[in-house]
Amino acid sequence: MTATEDLIVCPHCDALYQLKRPGKGEVARCSRCHTVIAAPRAKAGLQIVALALTTLILMIGAATFPFLRIEAGGVGNSVSVLDAAFIFSDGLLVFLVVATIALILAIPALRAVLVIYTIAPLLADRRPWPGARNAIRLAQ
């Protein structure tokens, strides 16, 4: 019997195969529907880390720069994501502040950091850092 970690499923027809990593220049295709199941991509890890870093940088801008501006009669007002969250920081609405910041900023930032933590050592051909398996599971 094969362990479930050694199996891969075709995303199109649900055919089940034993996982065997394709070599350089090879592509694993489904024998039923000929869908590509696995294909090595050059510098895929570098692209993922670059996108995660870009996400972190853009989140800083998204949190601090105004996303809404209203102007009428020469008087204007603008608000950023953090401003909008902290408006509700009185009384029982503190939970709304925590939920807003967590769902818009903290959780996506944590996911990007965990992806970088998991993939960065692999790009340098080093062993994964401790807890990398749990980090990528949490990120996903």
Domain assignments of the chain as residue spans, ordered by start: 4-38, 44-139
* Contact (Cβ atoms closer than 8 angstroms) between residue 111 and residue 48: no
Residue 108 has pLDDT above 90, yes or no: yes
- Indicate if the pLDDT at residue 4 is higher than 90: no
DSSP code for 9: E
Write a three-state SS string for 63-79.
HHCCCEEEEECCEEEEE
Global pTM? 0.69
> What value does the mean pLDDT of the chain take?
89
Confidence band, pLDDT 50/70/90 cuts, at residue 43: confident
Residue 2: per-residue pLDDT: 58
Closest by CA position to 106, among listed 79, 78, 133, 81: 81
Which of the pair, 21 or 125, is modelled with greater confidence? Answer: 125
DSSP for 39-66, please give it: ---TTHHHHHHHHHHHHHHHHHHHHHS-
Tens digits of residue pLDDT in 52-82: 999 999 999 988 999 889 999 889 999 998 8
Q: Please give the Cα distance from 10 to 36 (Å, whole number).
A: 8
